[in-house]
Chains A and B, each alone.
Chain A
Amino acid sequence: MDIMMIQMITEPGLTHFLVVSAILFGLGLMAILTKRNVIMVLMGVELILNSANINLVAFSRFTELSLDGHMISLFVIIMAAAEAAVALAIVLNIYNRFNSINLDDISLMKG
């Protein structure tokens, strides 16, 4: 029993990777909620996308979702690249218009 436990702790299995990705998700959520700089919020989004990717790749290794998981996370990376390009262009426009990238200053559409 003890040997089983030790082996479970030492050998990295599916749950280990899932726990790492859960912690990364928590940190990304923290960055999104607490930071007021648009670029920091975007970094938090990237962190969350990475944690989702770790989940997909771990499932594709340890369960029956074999290479399909790799494919899904490849498309997630493509999406992240497109999102970052467009978001940075939007941020530059916002900076040019409001002269600030603090999220609390950009509240024109609040009504």
Chain B
Amino acid sequence: MELTTILFYLFSLITISSAAIMVFSKNIVHSAFALMFTLVGVAALYVLLYADFLAATQLLVYVGGILILFLFGLMLTSQGRDMDFKSITVNLLPASLLSSAAAILLIYAFGTAEWTIISPIEHSDTVHGLGMMLMSDYVLPFIIAGVLLLIAIIGAIVMATRLSSRLKKESN
């Protein structure tokens, strides 16, 4: 067996099993940490697919940003010291039936479809190509994404500051 194959199976095992731990864990903090391992495993799968820039972005944005945001959200919304981060689970049977049906249907579709697979193009690195594309073909989506991020940040700040000013008013 080649090293790539072993690494693929190892990382997909890590990804799937920690995603399962995330879903089935009772403790939300454990779920958040399992989500971290899932995201790192997905980044490793990106590396196996020769997407080096995307893997770095995944680590920086998801593990470094979004996950920390989730942990902050958990911390700020935990009700006092007596709440031990339990997550309530409902509809276990119909939800598991539905989601496993969706997964099996997707796997069946992926297994039976005949994609036109070309021999993979070997990129030494994707950063140069991605940069060229961002400045030529994708310049409009790039600018729109920048504006979207600006609006999202402004919106988040406005919501958070309105919250704190209302709190101040109530306490006075």
Contact = CB atoms under 8 A, between A and B. Distances in A.
Interface string A30-50: 110111110110111011001
A30 B23 contact: yes
Contacts of B141: 75
Given A23-B103, A30-B23, A70 B126 contact: yes
A89 B5 contact: no
A61 B140 CA distance: 25
B69 A61 contact: no
Interface in B95-128: 95-96, 98-100, 102-103, 106-107, 110-111, 115-118, 120-121, 123, 126
Nearest to B45: A54
Main secondary structure of the interface of A (DSSP, over half): helix
Contacts of B70: 39, 42-43, 84, 88
Contacts of A91: 73, 77
Interface in B124-149: 126, 129-130, 133-134, 138, 141, 145, 148-149
A26 B38 CA distance: 14
Interface of A: 10-20, 22-31, 33-37, 39-40, 42-44, 46-47, 50, 53-54, 57-64, 66-68, 70-71, 73-75, 77-86, 88-93, 95-96, 99-102, 104
